[in-house]
Structures are given as structure tokens and as C-alpha cells.
Amino acid sequence: MKKLCVILAAVFLLSVFQPSRALASDTYTSTTDSADGYIVKLKDTPANTVSLMENTELTEISSDACLYHADTISEIKELGDDVLYYEPDYKMKLAELPNDSYASKQWSIGYLGISSAWDAGYNGQGVKIAVIDSGVNLTHEDFAGANVLPGYNVINNSSDVKDEMGHGTFVCGLFAAARNNGKAIAGFCTDATIIPIKCFGASKETSASYIIKSIYKAVDGYGCDVINLSSGMEEDVRSLEEAVAYAASKDVIVVASAGNEGNSTLNYPAAYDCVVGVGAVDQNGLVASFSQKNRSVFVVAPGARIVSLSYKSNDTLTGDGTSFSAPFVAVAATILKQYEPSATINHFKEILKASSVDGGLEGYDTSYGYGSLNIANFIEVMKSYELRSISEIFPDVGGHWASTSIDYCYKNELFTGVTTSSFEPETVMNRAMFVTVLSRMSGETITGVPNSFADVPENTWFSAPCAWGAANGIAGGMGDGTFNPSGSVTREQMAVFLYRYAILYGLTDGNSSGTATLSTFSDKAEVSDWAAAAMAWAVENNLISGRSKTSLCPKESAKRCEVATIISRFAIAFSK
């Protein structure tokens, strides 16, 4: 492997290091059986170190990320205060291997509804998939004509990606095996470009640093759109989390297997928020006994009696494991990237949530996640999902301080624009608009409630919301039989309506006193007596802040941008 000679600063104190959470203390003196050396993160590139004291050899993981491998703790000591952090280079394990030679029907084709993607032309054209694994047997006849690039071997820094144990060939076959050739199996996205990055040799274990190096190689070296990681480890390694976060920041979708121990232990990288962790189900749609059951399971996919290609011959094999569930979810990511190249991991997760078929308890559970992958449903939801950024939808939101909150409210269908291309964030919110937002947030069916307000005509967009608000004691009228729907909602009225909403749905006990919390504001006396408790509650819960550090401006009209901010804060902080 490439070695790097580093000119070191003359500071050797281990106490200046900042060990990551993987280490118990800075007195760590040797790696365990589950690690091989250390991953070292430098504060800057070695070229920028100044003082010369001694030469030390480090193995490069990613120079751009300032990541290197050190064999011993003494090498790390010699780096002095150039070290940002260090952690053991733990061993990563493949999430199971193919077991026996047995060519059988690919039940996953019908179960997933993948033919709907093929019929619609979603074969992965223009999408690059990195298979970070044990390499590939490119001589298998079912890879004839497949778009599989030579790839890269991070173990010896070569283009030799010959598979020595079969796992990578099995995974690549699920993506790229030729269809309709009368041989072996049918790959699921045969027009995608497959980049095999070899980081496992003849063993099913490898160093975390090889996985990390592979991720950076996939992102920066090959410009991949999707990364499949059918491997994992129990140790939470900071440098691995940073690597997958870096991939996500480049809009690369990372999919990983949840693990095969059949318990609740987390495996990484599947457990990181910026990764989609995948569990396994069998032919009956039941979660496999070996599949992990914990918060890392985002969705499940076929993982039992899966058929793919052998690395030793032109045969097929069957295998069990979440290793073989992850590629099916990566296929869905590939379909999304073909449809919209700018799609992000968050887009992907939201579409998976909305399209997966519930398998366990209603809603999310740690065995099935959000449910079982269904490609036909996925495509249907994908086509209706808003993938544009909020600034592309509403140009007047671009660069606005409340753009994130506006995006949240729009994507969760709480707000719409004033027109199809304008949000008007600085426009004052009226009373009808505000109670409509609350009614949408409730998720209730609000039709059929009698309307008693003289100024709320029937069959308008705000008729039902105003009637619903009044019937539930959230938004009363003006005391004269009117609602004043077009009148602006003041900041204290907004707090009162939201406070009543929270009480109605049991989100607060309604015991806010309203005095001490408001004492820091110079205009506290301007808060109406009937609004004091609500304003105090809103301030206490960081929903409303002053328009300055000392001014609440309770009787001023609330702008649409302010309402979006307060509603998004409320929706995130509370759950109905």
C-alpha cells in the first residue's frame, strides 16, 4: 500500500489527543482482537506541518479527508498535536455468504414487483453503483455484455478485483446479471454501471479503514450515485460515520445490511442516520429469524433463499442474509437516481416510508422498519413526490432565513404557496389561513362540522377549517357572530390558538402561569391577559422568540415566514 512519510512537529504528548468515542480513554495502548491498528484523523494535510523532529510512516486512507492508518500507538504519539482524533481500525464483517449450489426461481421478482420498473424503462441507465465488497468474477457468462467497470482494489491499490470468496460476485449478480439470455438469473438494473471496489480478500473480515477508503473512492474517484455495503460491524467508528456523511453530502445514497445475528445489536454503517439500513424477509413476507431487530432497520427486503451467481464457475448459488436484502433496496435507489439525479438520501427515505408495505405492527417497528420494499409502489410514490428544492418551487424563498421551516411545512402539506410559484414569506398571515394550517396538522377529517359564522360562506377553502377550529375550542370568533377570516392573526392570537391545540390533543397540561417567562421582555405589559399563559408556554417551549431580544410585539401581525417557523418547531418538538 502507498506509504506516506510525514514531517512531524516536535510535540509527543498523548494527552493533547482527542480520542473518539470508540476509545475509553487516552491511555489506550493496544488494539483488541477485533481491530488491526488505528485510524488516525489529522488536523490538516501533512504537507502543512512545520517542525521537523522525526519521520513516521502512515498508510493513506484518504488524503483529502486527512485519514491515515497507523500500526501502533507509538506512531500516533509521534504525531503529537497534528492528531485530531484516533480510534481502533476495527474489523468489518460481511453479512453472510452464499451457502449451497441450488438454482431455483427468483421469488424476489414477483415479491418486489420489479417488472413494473422494467416495463417503465427503469433499468438504471446513467446511474453508477459502487459495490463495496469482495470483488467480482467478471468471467461468469451471465455478466457478458454487462456494464461492469474494472473497479479498484483498496487492499493493494490495484485494478485487480478478482473475487476470492464469492460474496461480491453474488451481490453484483443481483444488479447486473443479463436478462432474457436463457442463462442463470435476471439482474434487476442491467443498464446501471457497476463499480466493484474490492476491500475483502479471501476472508469475510476486513479492516474498517478499507471500507472507509472505498467510500471516498466511490464518491470522489468514480462519482457514484449509489453505494451498496453488504457488511457491518458492532463498533461505532467516528471516521466511518464521517465517510458516509460525506457521501450523503454529495447526494450519494448509501444502503447497508442491518446484520444477521438475529438480535437487537446495532451494526454500522446501517445504524447511521444518513444510511438506509435493510433487514430481511422470507418468501412469506415474514421477517427472517437471522435479521437484526433494532432502530437501524429502515425497511426490509427479500433475504432468504436468494439466487445469484457463483464466483468459481458459471453456476448459480442460493444464499441467506441481509447482505442480499440490501442490493434490492439499492435497486430502488438506482431507480430514483435515474428518475432524478439530484435526489438525496432524505428524498429516498421519504419515498420508502410512503411506499413500503407494512409487515409488523402498524407504522414503524424494529423488525420490519417502515415495511417491506415494493418497487411498484415505490415508482408510483416517486412520480408524485416533490423532488425540487423549496427555492426551485418558490423562488421568493431562496436565501430567506425561514427557508428550512417553509420547506418543512410545504413538504408536510401544512402550507401551500400563495400562487403555484410564489410563497410570499413576508406577507401577513390571516386568521383563516392559520386555522387551516392547524386543521391540516391535526390529520382529522374536518368536514361536516356546522358553521355558525356570518362572514364564513359555505363551500370556501376556509369554511370547514374555521368551523372545525371553533367546534374544538381552538379559534373562537370575534364575539359578534363573525370569525373575521381575512383579518390578520396577531402573534398573541397565534400563540393562543396553538396552545389550545396542544391542550386539545394532550400535548401540554395547560398549566402555564404566564408571568416569570415573559419578565425579560420590555413589552410584556402589552400581552393581553387572555393570552399571557399561551405566550409564556410558547416562549418556554422555544416556539416563539421576540422580534428582538427584548420585544415580543404580541399585537403585531404574524408573517407567513414566522408562522412556518413556529409551526415547524411545534411539529418537531411535539407529536400528536
Show which residues are catalytic.
133, 167, 323
Candidates 346, 214, 232, 342; CA nearest to 279 is 232
CB atoms within 10 A of CB 399: 8
Q: Which long-range contacts (CB under 8 A, 24 or more apart) does 563-566 make?
A: 563/429, 563/433, 563/434, 563/437, 563/489, 563/494, 564/402, 564/405, 564/406, 564/408, 564/409, 564/415, 564/425, 565/402, 565/405, 566/494, 566/498, 566/538
DSSP state of 178: -
List the strands of the sheet with 306-309, edge to edge: 98-100, 316-319, 306-309
The Cα–Cα gap between 92 and 199 comes to 10
Strand 205-207 to 152-153 pairing? unpaired
Q: Would you state the cell numbers that stand for residue 37, as one nine-digit string?
A: 491498528
Give Cα separations from 108 to 254, 331, 556 (angstroms): 21, 12, 59
The Cα–Cα gap between 46 and 36 comes to 23
Helix (H) or strand (E) holding 500: helix 491-504
Secondary structure of residue 116 in the 3-state scheme: helix
Helix (H) or strand (E) holding 330: helix 326-339
Strand 3-7 to 275-281 pairing? unpaired
The Cα–Cα gap between 489 and 399 comes to 25
The single-letter code of the amino acid at 126 is G
Helix (H) or strand (E) holding 8: none
41 phi, psi to nearest 5 deg: -105, 120
Name every residue whose Cβ is closer than 8 Å to that of residue 517 and which is 6 or more positions away in sequence.
536, 539, 540
369 phi, psi to nearest 5 deg: 65, -135
The Cα–Cα gap between 556 and 561 comes to 14
DSSP state of 289: T
